[in-house]
Amino acid sequence: MKQKEKLAALIADALDSASQAGLISLADKPAVSIEVPRDTNHGDFASNIAMVLAKPLKMAPRQIAQHIVEYLTEDSMIEKVEIAGPGFLNFYLRLDWLHRVLAAIEEQGVTYGNSTSGQGERVLLEFVSANPVGPMNVVNARAAAIGDSLTRIMEAAGFVVASEYYVNDAGNQTQIFARSLEARLLQIEDPSATFPDDGYPGDYVTDLAVRLHSEHPEVVAMASAERQEFCRSWGIDQMVAAQKEDLRSFNVEFDVWFREHRLHQTGALGEVMSILDNKGLLYESEGALWFRSQAFGDDKDRVIRKSDGAYTYVTADIAYHYDKLKRGFTKLIDLLGPDHHGYIGRMRAAVQALGYPADTLEVLILQYVSLLRDGQQVKMSKRAGEFITLQDVVDEVGRDAARFFFLMRSMESHLDFDLTLASEQSSENPVFYVQYAHARICSILKQAEDVGARVLPVKDVDLSLLQHTSEAAVLRKLAELPEEIAAAAEYREPHRVARYALDLAGLFHAFYTHCHVLGEAEDLKHARLALVNSVGLVLRRVLTLLGVSAPESM
C-alpha cells in the first residue's frame, strides 16, 4: 500500500530531523508501523510510533508525537495530522487519494488487488487427498473449499502455486475395498455369497458392482486373485474419476492428481530409504526397520518397514514429499484434517532428514465440521455407511453457499454448518448478500447503457464530486484490497477474503440507498458510474478468489 509506505517514510524523516535538532536522541531507526484505524474519526491512517518510542527515549508519548509533527515535511497528500489518545498520530488525507484508487482499478482491471508479496516462491499445496475407497465427507469439502481458494489467493499475492491431490491407491484399504467390490459383484449372481466382515458397507460399492457387472461381465468368471486385482484397479479408477467429478462440481480443480502406486513402481521408497540409511537414521528392532525421527524432534521413532516386510504408509509419504522437493518446490503446504495432527512431527522429521529446512514443510490443520439441520446436529454413522457426503452438501445447499460457508470461518474454528440456513434463499444467507450487491451493480450498469450513459475513463470524470461519506467508505475499502489479499496469502487465511467481500458488499448497499446514480446531474452520474463499475469489478474479483459465482441478476 503506497500511502502507508509514504507515511512511514515521512515519519522516519521527521524522527531523523528531530534527532538532529537534538530534541530526541535516537540510537537506531525504529520500524514505523502504520495502520488503518477501526474508527474513521481517528483518520485515514494512524501510527503508534510515539508510544513505541516512549520507553527507549524516556519521554512522554504525546511529547514525542509533538516533535514528530513539528518536523513532518509538508505533503500534498496530507490534509491534517492530529495527536490523539495516549499518543497516536492520526493522519487525515485529502480526499483525492481515495479517488486515485479508481484510476488504479481501471488501469489494472482484473489484476487489481494482486501483489508481489509472495516473491514468486514455488509452493505445492496439497489438500483433500481423501482415500479413494469411499465418498468424500464434509471435512473433505471444507478442505476443498479452503485449499482451492488459498491456491487462488496465494497466486494473486505473487506465489507460484501448484495444487495437488495425493491418491492413496496402494494401501491396505484398497485391498479391503477390492474384496468388498468383489463380494458385491458375486452377490449379483449368487445372493448368498459372503461379504467380508471388515468390508465397506456403503451403497456406492453395490452401485459400482452393478456397473462392473454390466460393463465387464467376464470378471465374475476370473480366477480369484485376478478378479480381485481387477476389482481393485478398476474400482479405484472409478472412485478417483467420481471424486474428480464431485470436486469439479464444487468448482475445485487440481493441477496434479498424484498416484501413490507410482512411487512403488519407480522404486522411490527404496531411494529415500537408502538416503536415510546412509545418514545412519535407520535401525532394526523387533524385526522391523525404524526411522530415527526422534532425532528431529518427533515424539517417537517410526516404523518404516514392518516385520512382515511390507512398507508402512509413512514410508510412501516420505517418498512422496521427497518427490515434491525434487520437483523444485521450496514450500510444501499440506492441508490436513484434525485427525492427522500427529503426522506433523514425523513428516517434519523426514523433510529435515532428507536435508531440507524444517520450515520447508508447513502443515495446516483444519478442524471438524458439525452439520446441523433445523438447529439439530445431523447424526452420522460411518460404520453403517451412512454419512453426508460432499456431493450431498452441494446438492442440498448449492455450490456457492457451500463454498462461502466453509470460507467464512477461520479453518481452526470447529465449524457449525447449518444446512437449513445455507440452503435458504433469503436475507439470512450471507452469500446472497454479496451476490445481490453484484447483481444490483450489473443492473445499474445495464440501465445506464440502455440510456446511452457509458462508463467513462476516469481521467474524463470529475471524481472530486464523490464527497458523500458512504462513497468515501466504499473507496477506502477498495483501496484495502491489495493488502487484504497479501495478508490472506501470508497467513494462509482465506476467510479474510470472505470477510472483505461481506464488508465491501455492505458498504455498497449503504451507498446504494444513500446515493443515486442514474438521474443525477451528468458529472455526478459519471463519477458514480465509475465508482459502481469499480465495485463490480472488485466484487467479481473476490468472488472468483472464493470460487463463488457473481450473478448479473437475482
> Which positions from 422 through 451 interact with RNA, judged by CB under 7 A?
425-430, 432-433, 436, 439-440, 442-444, 447
Query: Which 308-327 positions form the footprint of RNA (CB under 7 A)?
Result: 308, 310, 312-314, 316
Separation CA 287–CA 290 (nearest Å):
10
Q: How many residues bind RNA (CB under 7 A)?
A: 93
Closer by beta carbon to RNA, 125 or else 517: 517
Question: Measured from the CB of residue 444, what is the shortest distance to RNA in angstroms?
Answer: 4
Closer by beta carbon to RNA, 321 or else 409: 409
Question: Measured from the CB of residue 417, what is the shortest distance to RNA in angstroms?
Answer: 8
Which residues in 341-373 are b (16+ Cβ under 10 Å) and which e? Answer: eebbbbbbbbbbbbebeeebbbbbbbeebebbe
Q: ∠ at Cα 172 (315, 308), nearest 5°?
A: 65
Instruction: Kindly tell me which residue out of 22, 28, 38, 74 binds RNA, with binding defined by CB under 7 A.
Output: 38
Separation CA 78–CA 59 (nearest Å):
26
Query: Which 165-204 positions form the footprint of RNA (CB under 7 A)?
Result: 168, 170-173
Task: Locate 325 and state its grid cell.
Answer: 522437493
Query: Which 280-299 positions form the footprint of RNA (CB under 7 A)?
Result: 285-288, 299
Question: Measured from the CB of residue 440, what is the shortest distance to RNA in angstroms?
Answer: 5
Part of the chain binding RNA (CB under 7 A), chosen from 84-92, 209-217, 237-245, 353-361: 84-92
Q: Of 66, 63, 64, whose CA–CA distance to 26 is shortest?
A: 64
Q: Which amino acid is at 194?
A: T
Asked if 51 is part of the footprint of RNA (rule: CB under 7 A), the reply reads yes
Closer by beta carbon to RNA, 203 or else 428: 428
Binding mask 379-398 for RNA (x = CB under 7 A): --------------------
Q: Of 80, 56, 126, whose CA–CA distance to 323 is shortest?
A: 126
Query: Which 104-163 positions form the footprint of RNA (CB under 7 A)?
Result: 131
Q: Of 130, 128, 143, 52, whose CA–CA distance to 89 is shortest?
A: 52
Part of the chain binding RNA (CB under 7 A), chosen from 36-44, 109-117, 247-255, 263-271: 36-44
Instruction: Kindly tell me which residue out of 307, 330, 377, 467 binds RNA, with binding defined by CB under 7 A.
Output: 307
Closer by beta carbon to RNA, 94 or else 509: 509
Instruction: Kindly tell me which residue out of 15, 61, 126, 281 binds RNA, with binding defined by CB under 7 A.
Output: 61
Binding mask 339-368 for RNA (x = CB under 7 A): xxxxx---------------------x-xx
DSSP 460-514: GS-GGG--SHHHHHHHHHHHHHHHHHHHHHHTT-THHHHHHHHHHHHHHHHHHHH
Separation CA 19–CA 137 (nearest Å):
62
Q: Could you tell me if 388 and 139 are in contact, meaning their C-beta atoms sit under 8 angstroms apart? A: no
Part of the chain binding RNA (CB under 7 A), chosen from 72-80, 150-158, 319-327, 407-415: 407-415
Separation CA 325–CA 309 (nearest Å):
27
